[in-house]
Amino acid sequence: MRSFFEEFKKFILRGNVVDLAVGIVIGAAFTKIVESMVQDIFMPVLGLITGGFNVSGQKLTLYREAELKWGNFVQTLITFLIIGLCMFLVVKGINALHKYVLKDEEAKPPLEPTPTEKLLTEIRDLLKREAQPETKPEA
């Protein structure tokens, strides 16, 4: 039983699990911010542009109380597109930062081989020369 808890502790304290948990919490908070931006800023402006048309409240009555709430779907779709755009911009920014940071590392000259590496290279070259059959020029 003790090994189970030790294994669980190792699993839960891995960097990947903690990073994932932080990402989920931040993503949930970010989603709330974007939903508020869509509902409280974009949709009223859209309503003003369309002459007071409220997209989120639009529905189509199918039969008695059965309703197709297409306006809410459109609002959710707009929220999704904005979140997707924001995530695209974040990833694009991180990639640009990586290129900027890694560019400095690529500009560094290659390291000089260690004495062991030099010796191993010489041994490899000797073995290659011995493995090749000697060709004698015909006279």
Write out pLDDT tens, residues 67-107.
Answer: 888 988 888 888 888 888 878 888 898 888 888 777 766 66
Q: Could you tell me the pTM of the whole model?
A: 0.51
Domains located in the chain, CATH noted: 2-109 (1.10.1200.120)
Q: What is the pLDDT of residues 35-75, one digit of tens each?
A: 888 888 887 887 788 787 777 788 888 888 898 889 888 88
User: 3-state SS of the chain: helix, strand, coil percent to 5?
Assistant: 75, 5, 20
Is residue 62 within 8 Å of residue 68, measured between CB atoms? yes
List Cα–Cα distances, 89 to 25, 35, 82, 83, in angstroms: 19, 18, 11, 10
Bigger pLDDT: 52 vs 118: 118
List Cα–Cα distances, 138 to 13, 130, 133, 135, in angstroms: 72, 21, 15, 9
Distance, C-alpha 5 to centroid of its chain? 31
Mean pLDDT of 111-126: 89
Question: CA-based Rg of the chain, rounded to a whole angstrom?
Answer: 32
Residue 137's pLDDT is 63
Residue 134's pLDDT is 67
Q: Say if residue 32's pLDDT is above 80.
A: yes
Residue 97's pLDDT is 83
CA distance 53 to 58: 9
Residue 123's pLDDT is 92
